[in-house]
Amino acid sequence: GTVYQIPTVIRAGLAYQPIANLSLLAEIETFLNMPISPRFGIEYKIHKNVFLRTGLQAQGNIQKQTQTFAQFGGIGMQFKDFQLQYALASQAGLG
């Protein structure tokens, strides 16, 4: 018969806040049988309701033995129970 495999993802992350308005974030992720994908991010609160974010993610290709990087940036706004989040990402493979 047909054998189906359920994708398994393992993630672990840390957050560190060296000062009140700055958060440093790190995470590692892996699908079983795939290389580890580390992620790093920074969030800075520029106003009590406005946040700037940037990040970097490494993505490995086990067949090609290569490593590519994706960059991210974004802004977030929060007003009481309403949130607005906007983000951009670049992909090295797409140009």
Q: Tell me: the pLDDT tens digits for 44-76?
A: 999 989 999 999 988 766 556 666 778 899 999
Residue 26 belongs to what H/E stretch? strand 22-31
CA-to-CA separations, 68 to 15, 31, 32, 61, 91, in angstroms, rounded: 24, 17, 19, 8, 8
- Look at residues 86, 24, 94 and name the one whose alpha carbon lies nearest to residue 59: 94
- Residue 1 structure tokens: 């018969």
Specify the pLDDT at position 65: 60
- Stated pTM of the model: 0.74
CA-to-CA separations, 93 to 30, 75, 86, in angstroms, rounded: 20, 24, 22
Positive/negative CA dihedral, 76, 79, 20, 28: negative
- Look at residues 89, 83, 84 and name the one whose alpha carbon lies nearest to residue 39: 89
